């Protein structure tokens, strides 16, 4: 009897895990079918309207370019990913640090917040040429552009998360004798993680855009530079190949942040709702 009772939860856990994996598999298949449908529509439009390749290449021509020029595309993709990784890391470091400082001090918040908003309102395309003048050609202005674009959503989301904790929780921590540091580590920061990860995911997609924008201004390598070169030569299949790789990089990096989020806050209700949708 005891053995049967002990095996029941284990059997239920295995059943739930199987259902969860099945739901994820169905979701992945749906995404693949959706992508296949888009490719089919693309091919149909090019074929039926008889569009010239230099205007809109078909998926076959783009796939051929991806296969034949994969080494060259990989070199440019590696350069772009490196710029994204460095710029994004800088944005995360400065964004989280500044957010904590602004939440900790009302004077710092009043002094810096308007400046951050003003900088965000300025189009980064307008700043990028100045960064080239100040920092010279190379990866430095590209990384700076990437960091500037990704910085704002990370900072604001972290501030919102840190300030969003209820006053009752703060009072409870103070009653328990927690210091400011202990209150931050044990209550404020864990409670802010859902908002922080939201900012990190938005910042990651913007970091990819920032790297490509920086490469448009002045770069010898990178997918943005490849797009400029191929477009000027009317080599549209290469342009589309670079665009597809940029999209894939953005999706993969976004998914990586989601995986980290899933393991960091499995207890949060957003993760619970996601599991319920899959089940």
Cα separation, 87 vs 208, whole angstroms? 9
Tens-place pLDDT, residues 121-144:
888 777 888 888 888 888 999 999
Cα separation, 190 vs 232, whole angstroms? 50
Which has more confidence, 18 or 136? 136
- Mean of per-residue pLDDT scores for the chain: 85
Q: Give the pLDDT score at 12.
A: 53
Helices (H) and strands (E) in the chain, counts: 12, 0
Q: Give the pLDDT score at 69.
A: 92
- Residue 216 contacts residue 127 (beta carbons within 8 Å): no
Return the percentage of the chain with pLDDT > 70, whole number.
87
Return the percentage of the chain with pLDDT > 90, whole number.
45
Q: Which domains does the chain have, with CATH numbers?
A: 58-278 (1.10.3720.10)
Q: Which residues contact 90 (CB under 8 A, 6 or more apart)?
A: 143, 146, 147
The predicted model scores a pTM of 0.84
Tens-place pLDDT, residues 148-200:
999 999 999 999 998 887 667 777 777 777 777 778 788 888 888 999 999 99
Cα 103 versus chain centre, distance: 24
Q: Give the pLDDT score at 26.
A: 81
Kindly provide the b/e burial profile for residues 181-207, where b requires at least 16 CB atoms within 10 angstroms of the residue's own CB: eebbeebbbebbbbbbbbbbbbbbbbb
């Amino acid at each position: 009897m005891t053995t049967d009772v002990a095996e029941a939860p284990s059997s239920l856990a295995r059943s739930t895990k199987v259902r969860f994996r099945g739901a994820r598999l169905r979701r992945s298949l749906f995404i693949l079918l959706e992508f296949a449908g888009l490719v089919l529509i693309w091919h149909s439009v090019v074929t039926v309207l008889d569009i010239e390749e230099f205007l809109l290449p078909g998926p076959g021509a783009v796939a051929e370019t991806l296969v034949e020029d994969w080494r060259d595309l990989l070199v440019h993709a590696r350069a772009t990913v490196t710029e994204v990784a460095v710029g994004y890391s800088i944005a995360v470091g400065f964004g989280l640090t500044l957010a904590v400082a602004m939440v900790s001090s009302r004077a710092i918040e009043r002094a810096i917040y308007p400046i951050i908003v003003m900088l965000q309102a300025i189009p980064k395309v307008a700043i990028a040429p100045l960064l080239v003048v100040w920092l010279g050609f190379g990866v430095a202005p590209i990384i700076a552009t990437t960091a500037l674009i990704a910085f704002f959503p990370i900072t604001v989301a972290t501030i919102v998360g840190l300030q969003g904790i209820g006053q009752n929780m703060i009072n409870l921590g103070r009653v328990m004798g927690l210091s400011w540091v202990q209150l931050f580590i044990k209550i404020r920061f864990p409670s802010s993680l859902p908002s922080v990860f939201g900012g990190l995911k938005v910042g990651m997609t913007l970091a990819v855009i920032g790297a490509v924008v920086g490469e448009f201004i002045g770069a010898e390598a990178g997918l943005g530079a490849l797009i400029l070169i191929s477009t000027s030569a009317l080599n549209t299949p290469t342009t589309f190949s670079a665009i597809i790789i940029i999209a894939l990089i953005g999706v993969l990096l976004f998914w990586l942040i989601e995986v980290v989020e899933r393991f960091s806050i499995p207890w949060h209700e957003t993760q619970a709702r996601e599991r319920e949708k899959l089940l």
